[in-house]
Amino acid sequence: MESDIFYSQCWEDPKIVFKAIQPSRGDVIVSISSAGDNSLSLLQFPITKVYAVDNNPYQNFVLELKIAAIRNLPREQTLKLLGFTRSTRRFSLFEKLSNELPTLASKYFKRRKEIIEKGIINVGRFENYFRYFRKLILPIFLNNAQINKFLSLENTNEQYIFYKKHWNNYLWRKLFLLFYSKGIMNKIGRHPLFFKYTHINNIGKNYLKRAELGITKIPVRDNYMMEYIMKGRISGKNGYPEYMQREKYSTIKANLSRISVHTTDLFSFLKTLPDNHISGFNLSDVFELFSDYDYENCLEEIYRVSKKGSRICYWQNLVLRELPKPLNKRFKVINSLATDLHSKDRGFFYNRLRILEVVK
Ligand SMILES: C[S@@+](CC[C@H](N)C(=O)[O-])C[C@H]1O[C@@H](n2cnc3c(N)ncnc32)[C@H](O)[C@@H]1O
């Protein structure tokens, strides 16, 4: 195993979260930490509080490192420390701020110096999976110049033509199906639990369809996620994640006191909150790992802690569930906005985006 970190970047499109939950003045938001990017990016809005929650302590260490970097370093140095720009001095940058980190996170990174040296955004299991893809599969079909060409295309029409002409052939589809099969993913990129509740049989075929949509229907011009998948870096040529955008960095830095980090499972965290307290939820695809029973119970708890009109945004990957019938009167399913946003999703792997609104 590369590390105990599953994701060192967020692969959910932050623009979707913003449009789904519309963060505004005074809001209190619950956000799954994952790698922290989207929880941090919420701080660009005049909200009162973000509770960043994850049951994997290593995910929260990643977020805590990003918080300490933004708090203590100018943007150019944060770009270096986190792995956006090249640097041979990452560990000495880390040492400057290691005392600012919570003790457990600081101890972990001191013990795992190589994680800091590689740049944190490169070390999750999921990012590692893309590294194998980039080294083993992609070069069979595209050389460096072609990859650069693809990443500089102006519109989806050009992307479609490029894909058809240079890339989409029998061998590509076969190798993709193999590489993104359940067996290989279990071995390298995913925890087997991830597949426990899915009814989708051919996982590879599902991801090939999603990848083709991502390649041909989502403008690559500002898709930094696609640049990372294809080149293993985020240079800024295809944009930056929100939390690292030049014009947002100082606002996010100024608002860091509004984020708190909680290592616990979502349901237990919700139990600690008073009624009618939360205005929005960014829940990644956490329900993927929930049984039907736990899914319904968690939604009940979300309802209890939510203010009237609160929005809940989450993705469905391989487990496509409807709103449980007993909750029909408590939540309104916002379908048209979800479908529209999903069709523009730069993190194109997910099968469905769900937006719920609390009716009280
Ligand atoms: C579900 S994963 C994101 C999946 C990823 N984008 C993908 O498709 O591979 C997001 C985060 O949710 C966290 N997580 C999963 N179940 C959770 C739970 N019950 N409570 C809190 N965090 C949870 C994981 O540790 C992970 O960091």
pLDDT tens figures, 28-48: 999 999 999 999 999 999 999
Q: Which two tokens stand for residue 346?
A: 């730069």
Q: Is residue 28 part of a domain?
A: no
Any idea what DSSP says for residue 7? -
pTM of the prediction? 0.94
| Res 325: pLDDT | 96
Spatial contact of 293 and 170, defined as CB atoms under 8 Å apart: no
| Cα 92 to ligand 1 centroid, rounded to whole Å | 31
User: What pLDDT shows up at residue 72?
Assistant: 97
Predicted pLDDT of residue 1: 37
* pLDDT number for residue 2: 40
Q: Which residue CA neighbors atom 4 of ligand 1 most closely?
A: 285
Give the Å distance between the CA of 72 and the centre of ligand 1: 28
What is the Cα–Cα distance from 67 to 96, expressed in whole angstroms? 14
**CA proximity to 3, closest of 75, 76, 81, 59:** 59
In a domain, 196, yes or no: yes
DSSP string computed for 254-310 = HTGGGEEEEES-HHHHHHTSPTT-EEEEE-TTGGGGS-HHHHHHHHHHHHHHEEEEE
Distance CA 112, CA 166 (A): 41
In a domain, 213, yes or no: yes
Nearest-CA residue for atom 13 of ligand 1: 54
Ligand 1 center from residue 161 Cα (angstroms): 36
Q: Which residues contact 95 (CB under 8 A, 6 or more apart)?
A: none
Residues (pLDDT < 70) of the chain are 1-3, 182-201
Structural domain containing residue 180: 130-231
pLDDT of residue 320: 87
Q: What is the pLDDT of residue 194?
A: 58
* Confidence at residue 177, expressed as pLDDT on a 0 to 100 scale: 87
- Whether 278 is covered by a domain: the verdict is no
User: 87: helix, coil or strand?
Assistant: coil
User: For 330, which DSSP code?
Assistant: T
DSSP 197: T
Q: What is the pLDDT of residue 181?
A: 74
CA distances for 136 relative to 133, 213, 276, 336, angstroms: 5, 22, 50, 39
Taking the centre of ligand 1 as the mean of its atom positions, its distance from the CA of residue 359, in whole angstroms, is 26
**Residue that is written with structure tokens 């102006």 in the block:** 154
Residues in CB range of 325: below 8 A, 6 or more apart: none
d(CA 156, CA 278): 38
- Using CB distances shorter than 6 Å, the residues near ligand 1 are 6-7, 11-12, 32, 34, 53-56, 59, 126, 265-266, 284-286, 288-289, 317
Place of tokens 């990443």: 151
E strand or H helix at 184: helix 182-188
Q: Are 320 and 350 in contact (CB under 8 A)?
A: no
Q: What per-residue confidence (pLDDT) applies to 129?
A: 85
Structure token pair of residue 258: 């509004």
Q: Whose CA is nearest to atom 1 of ligand 1?
A: 286
286 CA from centroid of ligand 1 (Å): 5
Q: Is residue 353 part of a domain?
A: no
Q: Which of 9, 284, 315, 348 to mutate to test the pocket of ligand 1 (most atoms within 8 A of CB)?
A: 284
Q: Tell me how far apart the alpha carbons of residues 260 and 52 are, in angstroms, rounded to a whole number.
A: 6
Residue 217 lies in a domain: yes
Which residue's CA is minimally distant from atom 27 of ligand 1?
34
Position 225 in a domain: yes
How many structural domains comprise the chain?
A: 1
- The single residue listed with the structure tokens 């990174």 is 109
Task: For 266-315, write each residue's pLDDT tens digit.
Answer: 999 999 999 999 999 999 999 988 999 999 999 999 999 999 999 999 99
Indicate the helix (H) or strand (E) that contains 113: helix 113-118
Kindly give the distance from the C-alpha atom of residue 168 to the centroid of ligand 1, in angstroms, as a whole number: 32
**How far away, in angstroms, is 293 Cα from ligand 1 center?**
18
Task: Give the closest residue (by CA) to ligand 1 atom 19.
Answer: 265
Domain annotation covers residue 200: yes
